[in-house]
Amino acid sequence: GEDVEQSLFLSVREGDSSVINCTYTDSSSTYLYWYKQEPGAGLQLLTYIFSNMDMKQDQRLTVLLNKKDKHLSLRIADTQTGDSAIYFCAESMGGYNKLIFGAGTRLAVHP
Amino acid sequence: DGGITQSPKYLFRKEGQNVTLSCEQNLNHDAMYWYRQDPGQGLRLIYYSQIVNDFQKGDIAEGYSVSREKKESFPLTVTSAQKNPTAFYLCASSPGQGMTEQFFGPGTRLTVL
């Protein structure tokens, strides 16, 4: 079955880079997504990558995709306290208009 | 402004009562979704609808019901059959037609007393 796995917690110092990792199982996924959730709020779409790409950069965010290993990562450069949140990766289910979400990685940024 | 609204933000219910959570979107999206989020956990799909007057069960549909009579509205009813309804409920919509990105509302926190 389909499954998306993430590490649950990451702690970084302000100004350092953060790397959040994700593995997925559906090789027919067309798009992979990163969402951010702040406390008590809905999910905000941060960025996405098409499955035939291996990298996408958007300001401080860099997404890397290793399709062979079904591994996705999100790098946040110059991490700020405002980046503290839960980050979810999600894969689109091939042939269906549904997303499968990981359990989320809680990012804590400390001075 | 285009977006997704959910109301109310906080909802309290007595055990044994049904309650309906509202979700409205003005993005002209075809598809809409309901998720449940428990503390420290990811999102679990309750129901989804890809088009008006049609909907499908997700992974945890038992104890819930939905309707999709209008494109912009997808209300969720939490029935008394749902054994553990206290949770954060998130509604999302998606353009459909091959575009899979989902956009989320602010959520409703339901507490059963």
As to burial, measured by CB atoms within 10 angstroms (0-12 exposed, 13-18 middle, 19+ buried), residue B84 is exposed
Q: What is the mean pLDDT of residues B27-33?
A: 95
Using an 8 Å Cβ cutoff, are A78 and A15 in contact? yes
Alpha-carbon distance of B107 to B89, in angstroms, equals: 5
pLDDT at B40 over 90: no
Q: Give the pLDDT confidence of A29-45 residue by residue, as tens digits.
A: 788 999 999 998 999 99
Surface of B (11-40) touching A: CB under 8 A: 31, 33
Alpha-carbon distance of B94 to A100, in angstroms, equals: 14
Among A30, A41, A45, the residue with its CB nearest the CB of B103 is: A45
What integer best gives the mean pLDDT of chain B? 93
What is the pLDDT, as a whole number, of residue A29?
Answer: 75
pLDDT at B98 over 80: no
CA distances from A88 to A34, A51, A55, A68, B96 (A): 6, 17, 18, 21, 21
Would an 8 Å CB–CB cutoff place A48 in contact with chain B? yes
Choose the mutation target among A34, A50, A98 for the interface with B, i.e. most B CBs under 10 Å.
A98
Q: Give the pLDDT confidence of B44-53 residue by residue, as tens digits.
A: 999 999 999 9
Among A33, A97, A102, the residue with its CB nearest the CB of B31 is: A97
